[in-house]
């Protein structure tokens, strides 16, 4: 777009130079106007570049925020809905366990503190106790 505007301006400039009006006040005024329009085109192009940069920056922030939201809300969901606390029989550490992991016999649960294998039965105990409390 800006290239086209510049070509247009050069064309008008060329017309002025080729005309017989020479150094008349009209020609001077027109040349002055061309200078002003030229500056406007320049300023517009700079704004355009800056605008594009800002859009890309805002997009990057938006993506990061999205990742952050996923992280934060996932954690909340796990704590509130889908996880159980198993107390490690060896060191007493409370370990949050995903409900889906409990249903899967293939998954071996390890205490992150002392690396003792936590049995599913420990988890069901916690679940039963929690049910009784209700």
**Distance of closest approach, residue 59 Cβ to Zn ion, in angstroms:** 44
Query: Which lies closer to Zn ion via its Cβ, residue 13 or residue 93?
Result: 93
**Distance of closest approach, residue 82 Cβ to Zn ion, in angstroms:** 22
**Of 39, 56, 76, 90, the one binding Zn ion by CB under 5 A:** 90
- How far CA 43 is from CA of 34, 49, 53, in Å, comes to 14, 10, 16
Per-residue x/- track, 91-120, Zn ion (CB under 5 A) = x-x-----------------x-xx-x----
Contacts of 46 (CB under 8 A, 6+ apart): none
- How far CA 73 is from CA of 70, 79, 95, 130, in Å, comes to 5, 10, 19, 24
Q: Which residues bind to Zn ion, rule: CB under 5 A?
A: 88, 90-91, 93, 111, 113-114, 116
């Amino acid at each position: 777009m800006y290239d086209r505007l510049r070509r247009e301006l050069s064309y008008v400039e060329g017309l002025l130079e080729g005309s017989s009006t020479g150094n008349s006040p009209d020609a001077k005024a027109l040349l002055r106007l061309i200078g002003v329009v030229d500056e406007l085109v320049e300023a517009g192009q700079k704004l355009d570049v800056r605008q594009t940069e800002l859009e890309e920056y805002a997009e990057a922030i938006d993506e990061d925020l999205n990742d952050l939201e996923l992280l934060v809300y996932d954690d909340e969901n796990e704590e509130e809905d889908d996880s159980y606390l198993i107390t490690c029989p060896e060191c007493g550490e409370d370990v949050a366990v995903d409900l889906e992991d409990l249903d899967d016999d293939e998954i071996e649960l390890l205490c992150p503190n002392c690396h003792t294998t936590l049995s599913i039965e420990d988890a069901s105990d916690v679940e039963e106790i929690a049910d009784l409390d209700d």
